[in-house]
Amino acid sequence: MAKWRWLEQVTDQEQVVRLNILEKVPLFAGLSRRQLGKLLVKFFEKEYGSGETIFNEGEPGKALFVILAGSVSICRALNEGEELLAKLSAGGYFGELALIDDQPRFASVRATEASRLLILYRSDFEDLMEGQRALAIQVMGNLLKTLAGYVRRAQSPRNGRNSTIVGQAAASDNPEMNSKSVSRD
Amino acid sequence: MPPPSIIWALAIAVVALLVYVSQDFVLLLLLSATVAYLINPIVKVAESAMIKRKVAVATIYLGIGAALLATAYFVFPHLRAEVNALSGNLPFFSQRFDEAVDAIQNEIAANYPAAGGLFSTREVRYEKLNSFIEHQIADVPLLLSHLASIVLAAVLIPFFSYFFLRDSRRITKFVLDRLPPGHIETTVAVWCEIDRTVGRYLRGLAIEGIVVGVLAALGLAILGINYPLLLGVVTGCANVVPYLGPIIGGAAAVLVALVQFKSLSVIIQVVVLYLSLKLLDLLAIQPLAVGKGNDLHPVLLIASIIVGGHALGIVGMVIAVPMVTIVQRIATLLFERHRQRAHVPDSHRNGGVPSHPYVC
């Protein structure tokens, strides 16, 4: 018992909470807790107030965001008004394509309540690819699944032109995440 | 909230003022940050294992303290013996150096008679050497007056670096939480680039210095040169100064070899040893230790070292390269950001369907 109490004393409980959330993110599915720990130290954390914009359409995308607490809405400007593409809550993520290319953001993201986000900068992820190949391959595989999901949805005749979805990797593979945080159309 | 440009201008002005008012304090902070950067990867490993940062930092400091004590216990007596022997021989150094140079000149003149006319007379050389030694001795009181600062730095650098390490995550969060959201991604990008560039460069430099120093000491010991441990330490420390460092280390070894053997062939052996070390450093040690740490143009690299040396002495020469690399990376990031904002796809501007089947 004394041994466990000692372990509790030196364990960073805040990091453990963050790790538990990362563990549920589909993008990081299949990673061991040790690998998630290595990934976690690469993240920055920032708090956003309710209604605060996280990024705007057209801005250069350089980072992936994971929601630790709170919720965000993802919208895209139309000729008249704005189209709500998705609402994400804790465990959701967005901006994942910034890990791949330099394209500008195709939607704006706003905090719908006070939220805490983790931010992973692309070059830090690329560093992981150099040093932690197994981890990077797993994440890339998950990312590819997400992209495949996007493409299928985009090509589906039922969805038509409003087929763009946001930030929930392999949503169809993970009904829990899907029901929890993605709403579209 | 004032515009970001004003905040940046104010921040730069404050930093410039701090540098101007207290150069020593800035130097102290820079050295502390350097120590923190060297230790940070170990802290991150502990942090990734969910160990509290403050526990990890305290444990690492205790470990480093123990390692330093062990090094002092095992290596210091040998090093001190060499330093004592060297300082004991210093009074005769001028005479021995003169004899050694005479011997080398005679050896060269005997083999290549045409080169005999190139050498200066003993009197001229003696005068130059004496004025050099007098100049160095004149600086000794100045060095002693700095001794208090050196001792203070030895205490303050670990102290500051401890808090840098312990609170770096908290400081980063504090800064990020106070930044306007529109600047977060660029700030994180800039922060990461600085972290990577400085971290890689400094850690690489430390590893490179240790490896080169150890190899130099081994090589000199094999060649039978006096004070191999001391010369290895000098070579390793000097190696952190780009370009100039290896020359300083090599010159010290050549000087000792010259006085000890008074033979051209040994000097050539020492020069070959140092050239081989430099080659090994360039081809194997540097790519492994520093990696693709900096990609500065050679002219910019040398210019930055000269300017750094003028501004902050040897420390300035060491930190010049990462500093200029950081400025270059930040400029590239800001330029990219500006360019990307100016080239938003048309489909995006008019609210049409983007060419990609995804949104962010």
Eight-state DSSP code of residue B345: -
Instruction: Tell whether the model's pLDDT for residue B280 goes beyond 50.
Output: yes
Note whether A44 contacts B172, CB cutoff 8 Å: yes
Say if CB A27 and CB A142 are below 8 A apart.
yes
Q: Give the residue-averaged pLDDT of B279-288.
A: 82
Higher pLDDT pick, B180 / A94: A94
Q: How close does chain B come to A123, measured CA to CA in Å?
A: 8
Q: What is the pLDDT of residues B71-107, one digit of tens each?
A: 888 888 887 887 787 777 766 776 777 777 777 777 7
pLDDT at A114: 93
pLDDT at A182: 40
Residue in this structure with the two tokens 């930040």, named with its chain if needed: B330
pLDDT at B357: 37
Q: What is the pLDDT of residues B202-252, one digit of tens each?
A: 888 888 899 999 999 999 999 998 888 889 988 998 888 877 788 888 988
Chain A residues with beta carbon closer than 8 angstroms to that of B177: 46-47
Q: How close does chain B come to A126, measured CA to CA in Å?
A: 12
Of A10, A102, A123, the CB nearest to B55: A10
B5 pLDDT tier (thresholds 50, 70, 90): low
* Mean pLDDT across chain A: 80
Of the residues B177, B338, B359, the best mutation for testing chain A's interface (the one with the most A CB atoms within 10 Å of its CB) is B359
CA distance linking residue B356 with residue A166, whole number of Å: 12
Residue in this structure with the two tokens 């401890």, named with its chain if needed: B162
A66 pLDDT tier (thresholds 50, 70, 90): very high
**What is the bridge-based pairing of β-strands A82-89 and A115-121?**
unpaired
pLDDT at B328: 81
Q: Give the residue-averaged pLDDT of B122-143.
A: 66
CA distance linking residue B190 with residue B326, whole number of Å: 9
Of the residues A103, A110, A163, the best mutation for testing chain B's interface (the one with the most B CB atoms within 10 Å of its CB) is A103
What DSSP string runs through B219-281?
A: HHHHHT-S-HHHHHHHHHHHTTSTTHHHHHHHHHHHHHHHHHH--HHHHHHHHHHHHHHHHHI
The share of chain B scoring above pLDDT 90, in percent, equals: 16
pLDDT at B110: 76
B201 pLDDT tier (thresholds 50, 70, 90): confident
Could you tell me the maximum CA-CA distance found in chain B, to the nearest angstrom? 88
Instruction: Tell whether the model's pLDDT for residue A73 goes beyond 90.
Output: yes
Q: What is the pLDDT of residues B28-79, one digit of tens each?
A: 888 888 888 888 889 999 999 999 999 999 999 999 999 989 988 888 888 7
Chain A residues with beta carbon closer than 8 angstroms to that of B173: 44-46
pLDDT at B350: 42
Chain A residues with beta carbon closer than 8 angstroms to that of B357: 150-151, 153-154, 163-164
Residue in chain B nearest A101 by alpha carbon: B360
Eight-state DSSP code of residue B292: S
Q: How close does chain B come to A2, measured CA to CA in Å?
A: 17
What DSSP string runs through chain A?
A: -HHHHHHHHHB-HHHHHHHHHHHH-GGGTT--HHHHHHHHTT-EEEEE-TT-EEE-TTSBP-EEEEEEESEEEEEEE-SSSEEEEEEEETT-EE-GGGGT--PBPSSEEEESSSEEEEEEEHHHHHHHHHH-HHHHHHHHHHHHHHHHHHHHHHH-TTTGGG--B-S-TTGGG-HHHHHHH----
Residue in this structure with the two tokens 């309710």, named with its chain if needed: A50
Note whether B349 contacts A58, CB cutoff 8 Å: yes
pLDDT at A65: 93
Q: How many CB pairs under 8 A join A and B?
A: 144
* Angle subtended at Cα B133 by Cα B128 and Cα B137, rounded to the nearest 5 degrees: 150
Q: What is the pLDDT of residues A108-161, one digit of tens each?
A: 999 999 999 999 988 888 888 777 888 888 888 998 888 888 888 877 766 544
Q: What is the pLDDT of residues B140-188, one digit of tens each?
A: 666 666 667 777 888 888 999 999 999 988 888 888 888 887 778 888 8
Q: Give the residue-averaged pLDDT of A66-94.
A: 89
**Looking at B80-89, B120-129, B147-156, B276-285, which range is the least confident one?**
B120-129
Distances (CA, A) of B336 to A52, B175, B189, B331: 25, 23, 12, 8
Instruction: Tell whether the model's pLDDT for residue B287 goes beyond 70.
Output: yes
Higher pLDDT pick, B248 / B350: B248
Say if CB B161 and CB B33 are below 8 A apart.
yes
Instruction: Tell whether the model's pLDDT for residue B316 goes beyond 60.
Output: yes
pLDDT at B202: 81
CA distance linking residue B322 with residue A157, whole number of Å: 54
Of A54, A57, A79, the CB nearest to B181: A54
CA distance linking residue B217 with residue B233, whole number of Å: 8
Note whether B185 contacts A161, CB cutoff 8 Å: no
Note whether B359 contacts A79, CB cutoff 8 Å: no
Of B176, B337, B354, the CB nearest to A44: B176
**Looking at A37-46, B83-92, B297-306, which range is the least confident one?**
B83-92
A183 pLDDT tier (thresholds 50, 70, 90): very low
pLDDT at A69: 93
ipTM summary value: 0.74
Q: What is the torsion angle, in degrees rounded to the nearest 10, for the CA atoms of residue B75, residue B79, residue B84 and residue B86?
A: 160
Closest CA to B36 of B172, B236, B198, B149: B198
Note whether B173 contacts A45, CB cutoff 8 Å: yes
B1 pLDDT tier (thresholds 50, 70, 90): low
| Phi, psi of A75, deg, nearest 5 | -130, 155
Of the residues A6, A14, A40, A46, the best mutation for testing chain B's interface (the one with the most B CB atoms within 10 Å of its CB) is A46
pLDDT at B117: 64
pLDDT at B353: 39
Residue in chain B nearest A19 by alpha carbon: B50
Chain B residues with beta carbon closer than 8 angstroms to that of A60: 185-186, 336-337, 340-341
Note whether B359 contacts A74, CB cutoff 8 Å: yes
* Mean pLDDT across chain B: 78
Q: How close does chain A come to B32, measured CA to CA in Å?
A: 22
